[in-house]
Amino acid sequence: MDTDVLVIGFGKGGKTAAAALGRRRRRVVLVEQSDQMYGGTCPNVGCVPTKALVHHSRNRRPLDSAPEWYEHAVGEVQALTSTFRAGNYDALNNADTVTVITGKARFVDAHTVTVGGVPITAEHILINTGSTPVIPDIPGLAASKYTVTSTELIHEPSLPKRLAIVGGGYLGIEFASIYRQFGAQVTMFESQPRILRHEDDDIAAVAESILVGEGIDIIAGASVREIRDATVVYEKDGQEFTTEADAILAAAGRVPATEGLGLEAAGVRVTERGAVVVDEYLRTSQPHIFALGDVNGGPQFTYISLDDSRIVLDQLLGDGKRSTADRVAIPHTLFMTPPLATVGLTEREARAAGYRLKIARQPVAEIVAMPRAYVVEETRGVMKFVLDADTDEVLGAALLSVDAQELINTVALAMRNGVPASQLRDAVYTHPSSTEAFNEVLFTIVRED
């Protein structure tokens, strides 16, 4: 089979590029190794199912049976992901110039892969295979029948009564919040002295107080030494402790999915962690081969994979000027409840960079101009802005509040376009909304130096 463009992997970047190229009458073949992954990680085992579980967990009423509600939620989420999966498949496979093939692709040379013994040759190749969960090298963890990855856990219809989470990063915190709300006893182990170590101390402290207030047991500064069947053995402050669990979630992050691709046969270089090496235009060591999304070792977010597709499409269809260097003020969201969304520099980072700062900070419960927080009965959290005292530029923000995942996009847009903090503060926002909190918070300068 000969084609103009071969896309390996059905993730956000790959499918978006395939659809755009198909509309331009390029012959496209998209290969996906699993019929359960049409559309990629996000709609199948990532963003969509986990955020849907957040929604269902918050809808459980006090008298609802926790195991029954959880089983119902898992069924609802699986139905949702099936709908997305079918829609993704049909949208591409029904296109005149796009063919979807299910099977494992392996390179045999720089222009050819085989899928089920069938060679496919292409002028350009896009690698979009995503990432896979990491199982830390802890004795007994991989062998324990109680160990699960995030992918396995969200498909399990039985709610674990006791969930142990090895890892206190974004993944660990999100799952701790979800499963505690469903009714599980949750213990989260973090090797660092505190969770959210990349955030300012005041923001991390508020986030931790919310999690602990919900009944999550956070054991920071702990080293998990061994897993003995269903027993987690850990060390803290020089002493050894144990805790029992019905499920042990390995939440140590994800690594690029390049194993078995045969990249060496194509002359495509990878890093020690298996990420495909790319330049700012996402070209690999073979100029006609590109890598998009998690597989290239960049930030592991669906919206980054989408932007990767724009860069590659500009290379194949445009003037080739767009690059990863164009990205400014990229926001992130941790979907605990309420969510923590951040963008730009923390106060600590800004001070280290030598800025003279103004800090605007206010607890959500004290923001009079944000009645929406009271309307939806979610007044926990805090909003913080890091401002350049000399230019009134927004250097960064941390929003731990209801609707933070939406609010942060407004802040990021302002940062990208040089909108000063005073303009963000004095803008006219709808009422009642969460955005109008900016009218008040940005007036509340708590420090200037």
Which residue numbers are catalytic?
A: 431
Cis status, amide bond into 338, omega within 30 of 0 = yes
| CA dihedral sign, ordered 176, 179, 182, 185 | negative
User: Within 10 Å of residue 117's Cβ, how many Cβ atoms?
Assistant: 6
For the chain, how big is the Rg over CA atoms in Å? 23
Cα-Cα end-to-end distance for the chain: 65
Q: Which residues on adjacent β-strands are paired with residue 360?
A: 385, 445
In the structure encoding, which two tokens stand for residue 382, read together?
A: 């805090």
Closest CA to 52 of 82, 37, 73, 66: 73
For residues 351 and 386, give the distance between their C-alpha atoms in angstroms, rounded to a whole number. Answer: 10
Contact 361, 385 (CB under 8 A): yes
For residues 109 and 69, give the distance between their C-alpha atoms in angstroms, rounded to a whole number. Answer: 51
Amino acid at 427: A
For residues 364 and 317, give the distance between their C-alpha atoms in angstroms, rounded to a whole number. Answer: 47
For residues 311 and 17, give the distance between their C-alpha atoms in angstroms, rounded to a whole number. Answer: 10
Residues present in the chain in total: 449
